[in-house]
């Protein structure tokens, strides 16, 4: 009997292990999830929750053109265009970089912790911004606190949705990401109306958007659920990704693409006012027009990508974004600015909505999606960090708008060519859905 026990058999069963019993300390392996439901109430609730998170992450980023224009007025503090743009650039960068931590935490099943912590930091950062009087204070509150909070929310959102959808993943992510466009419509209008029409001042204008954010965070905290969880803890960085050619080339292309997009987001409102094409009121509303157009840009091309392939969509759209940025050089009046805001807004929406779908396609092991998305967006985030300040430095005190639009337009065009390279790496030159 002693020898039987030592060999691992169950005592009292004549040396034969009972297959119907499980030892107390034997870990039960996680059941493999079934295929994505690709629809249904629970899946679409995740999309609705993702919509709210995009509303308060990229929606805040898309609103920065209003903050840039207001800060340029010198009413709150005095700083150069380049220094002011550091606020938005760091906010954008941290929204992406924090994915290095948020992605692995999501893979470990800590979605609720990320949602609660990120929501708190965004709201707290806005409340602190309402008290700011100096540049460095705004930098800490808006760039660091809101940026990190947004990063804790953004990566889990784009990691979760692909686990609920397969054939309609482009449409689902497009609808969710359109929340950032709506945020970019609502927040600029709220800020302008409160700052200039009701004249309640900067503090209460910012607190108002903080309360809006607080209310819209309730749905994600209540309904978002992890569907696919990694079977064991993973390293923060997936080093194997750096030997994955298409993945790393796409990440570098995204970095360059975000440089061009950041130039556009930060300076389109200030450009129209500085050149005298529009008055102050319309220059603020241009941000809302830009983001309203991007709603369609986030949904229609994403739905198209489900039919023709994600890289077949993002490559030409990136090129078109670069061309339309260069077309800003030909604008001479109000009508031209409105048309440019609509067209560039549409294409800008595409280059924000499609990358999560691209990363999904480039990740074979879907249990690694959080880590891969997080570090991919962290690499791309350097483009957002570089774009605004480098654009401000190019603009300088002489307001060299020709140079800044050439810089942004060429960056987007180069990124489009890189996306074409990724497409070739995945499927060659033959026609294919890729």
Task: Report whether pLDDT(434) > 80.
Answer: no
Give the whole-angstrom CA distance, residue 90 versus residue 105. 22
pLDDT at 231: 66
8-state DSSP, 32: P
- For 291-344, the pLDDT digits (tens) are 899 888 888 887 888 889 899 999 999 999 999 999 999 998 999 999 999 999
Q: Does 191 map to a domain? A: yes
Long-range contacts of 145-149 (CB under 8 A, 24+ apart): 145/121, 146/60, 146/91, 146/121, 146/122, 147/90, 147/91, 147/92, 147/93, 147/94, 147/95, 147/98, 148/94, 148/98, 148/121, 149/117, 149/118, 149/119, 149/120, 149/121, 149/122, 149/123, 149/124, 149/125
Structurally, the chain folds into a number of domains equal to 1
Q: Does 8 map to a domain? A: no
pLDDT band at residue 31 using 50, 70 and 90 as cut-offs: very low
Percent of the chain whose pLDDT exceeds 90: 39
Q: For residue 127, what is the domain's CATH number?
A: 1.20.1250.20
Question: Which domain covers residue 121, as residue numbers?
Answer: 37-225+236-427
pLDDT band at residue 5 using 50, 70 and 90 as cut-offs: very low
The more confident residue out of 362 and 373 is 362
The more confident residue out of 138 and 360 is 138
The more confident residue out of 109 and 133 is 133
Crossing angle of helices 334-353 and 310-326, in 10° steps, is 150
Q: Does 28 map to a domain? A: no
Q: Does 68 map to a domain? A: yes
Q: Does 218 map to a domain? A: yes
pLDDT band at residue 232 using 50, 70 and 90 as cut-offs: low
pLDDT at 340: 94
Which of 49-63, 112-126, 340-354 ranks highest by mean pLDDT?
112-126
Mean pLDDT for all residues in the chain = 85
Q: Does 14 map to a domain? A: no
Q: Does 399 map to a domain? A: yes
pLDDT band at residue 33 using 50, 70 and 90 as cut-offs: low
- For 72-94, the pLDDT digits (tens) are 888 889 888 888 989 988 998 89
Task: Report whether pLDDT(9) > 60.
Answer: no
The residue among 80, 15, 104 whose CA lies nearest residue 375 is 104
Cα separation of the two ends of the chain: 62
Q: Residue 157: helix, strand or coil by DSSP?
A: helix
Q: Does 265 map to a domain? A: yes
């Amino acid at each position: 009997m002693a020898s039987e026990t030592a060999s691992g058999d169950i005592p009292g069963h004549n040396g034969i292990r009972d297959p119907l019993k499980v030892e107390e300390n034997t870990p039960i392996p996680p059941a493999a999830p079934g295929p994505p439901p690709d629809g249904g109430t629970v899946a679409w609730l995740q999309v609705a929750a993702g919509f709210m998170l995009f509303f308060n992450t990229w929606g805040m980023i898309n609103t920065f053109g209003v903050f840039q224009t207001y800060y340029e007025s010198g009413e709150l503090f005095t700083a150069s265009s380049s220094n002011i743009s550091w606020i938005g650039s760091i906010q954008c960068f941290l929204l992406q970089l924090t994915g290095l931590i948020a992605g692995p935490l999501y893979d470990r099943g800590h979605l609720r912790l990320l949602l609660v912590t990120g929501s708190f930091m965004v709201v707290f950062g806005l409340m602190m911004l309402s008290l700011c009087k100096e540049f460095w204070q705004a930098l800490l509150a808006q760039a660091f606190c809101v940026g990190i909070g947004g990063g804790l929310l953004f990566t889990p959102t784009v990691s979760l949705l692909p686990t609920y959808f397969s054939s309609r993943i482009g449409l689902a992510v497009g609808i969710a990401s359109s929340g950032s466009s709506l945020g970019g419509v609502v927040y600029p209008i709220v800020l302008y109306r409160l700052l200039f029409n009701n004249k309640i001042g900067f503090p209460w204008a910012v607190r108002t958007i903080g309360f809006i954010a607080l209310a819209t965070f309730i749905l994600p905290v209540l309904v978002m659920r992890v569907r696919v969880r990694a079977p064991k803890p993973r390293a923060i960085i997936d080093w194997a990704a750096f030997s994955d050619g298409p993945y790393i080339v796409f990440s570098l292309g995204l970095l360059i693409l975000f440089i061009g997009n950041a130039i556009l987001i930060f300076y389109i409102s200030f450009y129209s006012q500085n050149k005298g094409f529009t008055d102050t009121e319309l220059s603020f509303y241009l941000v809302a027009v830009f983001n309203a157009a991007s709603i369609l840009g986030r949904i229609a091309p994403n739905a198209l990508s489900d039919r023709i392939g994600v890289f077949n969509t993002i490559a030409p759209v990136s090129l078109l974004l670069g061309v339309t940025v260069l077309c800003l050089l030909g604008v001479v009046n109000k009508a031209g600015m409105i048309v440019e805001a609509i067209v560039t807004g549409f294409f800008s929406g595409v280059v924000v909505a499609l990358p999560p779908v691209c990363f999904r396609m480039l990740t074979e092991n879907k249990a690694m999606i959080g880590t891969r998305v997080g570090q991919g967006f962290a690499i791309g985030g350097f483009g957002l960090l570089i774009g605004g300040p480098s654009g401000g430095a190019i603009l300088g005190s002489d307001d060299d708008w020709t140079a800044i639009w050439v810089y942004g337009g060429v960056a987007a065009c180069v990124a489009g060519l890189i996306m074409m390279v990724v497409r070739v790496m995945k499927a060659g030159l033959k026609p294919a859905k890729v």
